[in-house]
Amino acid sequence: MTIYRAPIQDTLFVLNDVLGYQRYSNLPGFSDATPDVLEAILAEGAKLAENVMHPLNRVGDMEGCVRHGDGSVTTPKGFREAFDQYREGGWMGLAAPAEFGGQGLPYTVHTAVSEYMVSANMALMMYPGLTQGAIAAIITHGTDEQRATWLPKLVEGAWTGTMNLTEPHCGTDLGLLRSKAVPNGDGTYRISGQKIFISAGEHDMSDNIVHLVLARIEGAPEGVKGISLFIVPKLKLDASGNPGQRNTVSCGSIEEKMGIHGNSTCVMNYDEAEGTLLGEANGGLKAMFTMMNEARLGVGLQGLSLSEIAYQNAVSYAKDRLQGRSLSGAKAPDKKADPIIVHPDIRRSLMTMKAFNEAGRALALWTAIKSDVAHRAGDDKDRQAADDYTGLLTPVVKGVLTDKGFDHAVMAQQVFGGHGYIEEHGMSQFVRDARIAMIYEGANGIQALDLVGRKLAQNGGRAVQAFFKEVAEFCEENRADEKLAPFTKALKKGLNDLQAATMWLVQNAMAKPDNAGAASTDYMHLFGLVALGYMWAQMARAAGVKLAEGANGAASFYDNKLVTARFFMERIMPETATRLARISSGADTLMALPAEAF
């Protein structure tokens, strides 16, 4: 049995003391989430995660989902009841607009609580996770009628949503998709085609499933310019808006897969299923991106969540497992051996995970605040600046947090030695579950290309320049503070490497696009290192302020922050130099061998 404790104190430190969450109380929803309310929500969410969802994580892994002959799918024992509690607690609509039955609270609060629930049970949380994306797409692109028809039930959690892009021959390259839509002449369409790998495509946890499906309207142009998005319900609605007659969409099979066994990954067959257009004809990709951007931040969070729970279990094991003696003399002389936490190499793993998790949490919450400002601020300039940040940071959060999430699940498994490889301790499940987050919602290589190929140059580089300026100003403002010097100096060095890499791309990638492709993954991680380093420098400053104020009995919490910040700057941040060296080596050697040489 694995353990999990939601890191509430840490979330509150980041929101209240580092990111100045209360500064945003002028934005809609923020004033309702006062410090007391925020704390109460985190505590309630933690209870649901720890007591209801976490005990089902292993059950989901062992049992998986079962498809029956009629195409229906049964989820693992306890999933339905846990989802009922999630729904009844109002968690689905936490950040959704009040006019559709939501609570209108900040997306930031939703993000903070989701981290706990995803740590506790990633496969279970994917059912509501995809629904959030569907809600976002219908809010942004739906007509008034579509909003009124679909949103209240989705926000309530009575119905769930899915996202149907992938087809057997069409994954990353959506321009290849073949599913077609034929107009019925009454505003509805007949949708036909096969979609694969559809998460939560069929299950037994809700009264209806609202599929958002990409298809090509008959006669539409080839490629991505001819794709439209449709709402296709599993059960068509009757005249009173209740689920009635079965639509001609069905689950043909569910995939046997490496992890997230508790989530049904379905082949979905559309056989002239009835649907309505969401957004403009041939504007499907734009509409889908609303859903995907939300989902990408959610998937980034999955990386952090799994890194956190894997870390917590590794720490517990390292304190317990007795093997060998400390290099500096016995630490538990009354026992036959010392606990492995005394060994520097075990510490290296634990500190690496800890340093990443705490900064990753800050980065995810910072991005969530930017997303809230982008959607809720009254001032156009504020909205635009925040939107720039969200766009820039989304591929970094998705790509870096999930790459590291998997690395750390493996690292935590290693702390268990052979006991991590067998199923009994649950570490293997974290590794298997974490792996998918690097692949779906745009594989991480594609995130890196999005950052380098699109986001850097957007609006003449406005977003990236704003990021550089903010980090440089932070270093400059705190330059005279000797206590902060170890952090600001290391951060400035990382920023210099990132700026040098950016300049190298400007000078070398225009004329030779392979240079951009060859640099992209290293650039994304270099960006991530600087963003995480910026989070650590701010956390160190906030911890210093708290200690100077007397720390209210939590001195060790803030002292530990300073030590972990130092570890990050000494041991992780220097990787920026390696990344820069790789980037500036260009594409020539990488691309030199002919395909036959492999």
Catalytic residue numbers read 441
Separation between Cα atoms, residue 206 and residue 221, nearest integer Å: 36
Beta-sheet strands, E only, within 165-217: 180-183, 188-199, 208-217
How far is residue 268 CA from its own chain's centroid? 25
Part of the chain binding ligand FAD (CB under 6 A), chosen from 68-76, 89-97, 162-170, 271-279: 162-170
Asked if 515 touches ligand FAD (CB under 6 A), the answer is: no
Exposed / middle / buried, residue 328 (Cβ in 10 Å: 0-12, 13-18, 19+): exposed
Q: How far is the CB of 204 from ligand FAD (least distance, A)?
A: 18
Residue 292 CB, shortest distance to ligand FAD, in Å, is 9
Is 197 a binding residue for ligand FAD by CB under 6 A? The answer is yes
DSSP bridge pairs for 265: 199
CB of 266 to ligand FAD, least distance (A): 9
Residues 299, 303, 306: CA angle, nearest 5 degrees = 125
- Looking up tokens 């100077």 gives 548
Nearer to ligand FAD, 198 or 249 (CB): 198
* Closer of 103 and 166 to ligand FAD (Cβ): 166
Size of the site for ligand FAD (CB under 6 A): 18
State the Cα–Cα distance between residues 52 and 291, nearest whole angstrom. 28
Among residues 436, 451, 516, 569, the one that binds ligand FAD under rule CB under 6 A: 436
- Least separation in angstroms between CB 357 and ligand FAD: 24
For 43-73, the DSSP string reads HHHHHIIIIIITHHHHHHHHH--EE-TTS-E
Nearer to ligand FAD, 124 or 539 (CB): 124
Q: In the range 254-283, which residues lie near ligand FAD by CB under 6 A?
A: 257, 265
Region binding ligand FAD by CB under 6 A among candidate stretches 233-241, 337-345, 440-448, 590-598: 440-448
Distance CA 312, CA 494 (A): 29
Determine if 107 is a binding residue for ligand FAD (CB under 6 A): no
Nearer to ligand FAD, 390 or 444 (CB): 444
Q: How far is the CB of 363 from ligand FAD (least distance, A)?
A: 23
Q: Of the listed pieces 192-200, 374-382, 412-420, 526-534, which binds ligand FAD according to CB under 6 A?
A: 192-200
Q: b/e string for 201-213 if b means 16 or more Cβ within 10 A?
A: bbbebbebbbbbb
| Rounded distance between C-alpha atoms, residue 574 and residue 497, angstroms | 10
Binder among 440, 467, 474, 536 for ligand FAD (CB under 6 A): 440
Q: Which stretch binds ligand FAD (CB under 6 A): 359-367, 434-442, 525-533, 536-544?
A: 434-442
Coil, helix or strand for 336?
Answer: coil
With CB under 6 A as the contact rule, the residue among 74, 131, 192, 199 that binds ligand FAD is: 199
Question: CA 325, CA 342: separation in Å to the nearest integer?
Answer: 8
DSSP state, residue 143? -
Closest C-alpha among 434, 441, 426, 446 to residue 405 = 434
**446 near ligand FAD, rule: CB under 6 A:** yes
- Residue 228 in contact with ligand FAD, rule: CB under 6 A: no
For residues 449 and 471, which CB has a smaller minimum distance to ligand FAD in the complex?
Answer: 449
Instruction: Choose the binding region for ligand FAD from 436-444, 460-468, 526-534, 586-594 (rule: CB under 6 A).
Output: 436-444
CA distances from 238 to 247, 342, 416 (A): 12, 65, 55
CB of 446 to ligand FAD, least distance (A): 5
Pull the structure tokens for residue 428. Answer: 């293997």
Q: Which stretch binds ligand FAD (CB under 6 A): 163-171, 238-246, 314-322, 563-571?
A: 163-171
Residue 172 near ligand FAD by CB under 6 A: yes
Closest CA to 232 of 290, 281, 190, 295: 190
Q: Name the one range near ligand FAD by CB under 6 A: 85-93, 182-190, 439-447, 570-578.
A: 439-447
DSSP label of 19:
S
Cβ neighbors of 425 (< 8 A, separation 6 or more) are 2, 313, 317, 416, 419
Q: Position of tokens 């990954």? A: 265
Under a CB-based contact definition with an 8 Å cutoff, are residues 165 and 211 in contact?
no
Residue 235 engages ligand FAD in binding (rule: CB under 6 A): no
Joined together, the tokens standing for residue 457 give 């140059």
CB of 174 to ligand FAD, least distance (A): 9
Residue found by looking up tokens 């299923």 in the block:
273
Q: Residue 523 or residue 558: which is nearer to ligand FAD going by CB? A: 523
Q: Which is nearer to ligand FAD, 354 or 435 (CB)?
A: 435
State which of residues 337, 439, 466, 500 lies at the interface with ligand FAD (CB under 6 A): 439
Q: Is 174 in the site for ligand FAD (CB under 6 A)?
A: no
Chain residue at closest Cβ approach to ligand FAD: 171
CB of 25 to ligand FAD, least distance (A): 36
Measured between alpha carbons, how far is residue 462 from residues 40, 272, 405, 504 in Å?
38, 45, 30, 18
Nearer Cβ to ligand FAD, position 163 or 346? 163
Distance CA 214, CA 40 (A): 40
Q: Among 65, 95, 96, 163, which residue sits at the site for ligand FAD (rule: CB under 6 A)?
A: 163
| 443 touches ligand FAD (CB under 6 A) | yes
Give residues with Cβ within 8 angstroms of 171, minimum separation 6.
none
Give the residues lining the site for ligand FAD (CB under 6 A).
163-166, 171-172, 197-199, 257, 265, 436, 439-440, 443, 445-446, 449
